[in-house]
Amino acid sequence: MQCAQVVHECLMLHARNSTVTMQNKFSPNNHIIIITFFYFFILHYIQKQLNIFERKVYRRILGPVYDIEKENWRVLINREIYASVKKPTIIETVRLNRLRWFGHIQRMEENRIPKRVLYMNLETTRLRGRPRNR
């Protein structure tokens, strides 16, 4: 519900700042804006959850540490986890793999399906209303 409200406010702000009519308000370009907004909103939430999970797993693997100054056991803080692991996070790994895949697609021939899908133009529209019976 909160995400839908933010998208609605974004569309209304876009409509106020430009000459957008009701007919072209939901054009393919605006759908791309909405999809991109949802993607980054959800991606931020997923990234946060993945980082939390990754740190939780590393804490479990590395175990508690004995603190000499306080003379007790404690869990590692985030800085200590990343200093001891010295590997890229899940998010960085996914970004690198996506960038590698994009470079692979860029080097493909023009008639290959993945390259055509990447640059596909979705200018078609659906009919409004309920689908007709067959």
Residue 121: the pLDDT is 79
Q: Is the pTM of this model over 0.85?
A: no
DSSP string across 16-52: HHTT--TTTTTSHHHHHHHHHHHHHHHHHHHHHHHHH
Residue 37: the pLDDT is 65
45-77 confidence digits (pLDDT tens): 888 999 999 999 999 999 999 988 888 999 999
Provide the residue-wise pLDDT of the chain in tens; the chain has 134 residues: 455 555 556 555 555 555 544 444 445 555 556 666 666 777 788 889 999 999 999 999 999 999 888 889 999 999 999 999 988 888 888 889 989 989 998 999 999 998 888 888 777 777 788 888 87
Residue 81: the pLDDT is 92
Task: Give me the phi and psi of 80, to 5 degrees please.
Answer: -70, -35
Strand partners, 15: none
Q: How far is CA 86 from CA 63, 79, 80, 89, in A?
A: 16, 11, 10, 9
Q: Are 45 and 38 in contact (CB under 8 A)?
A: no
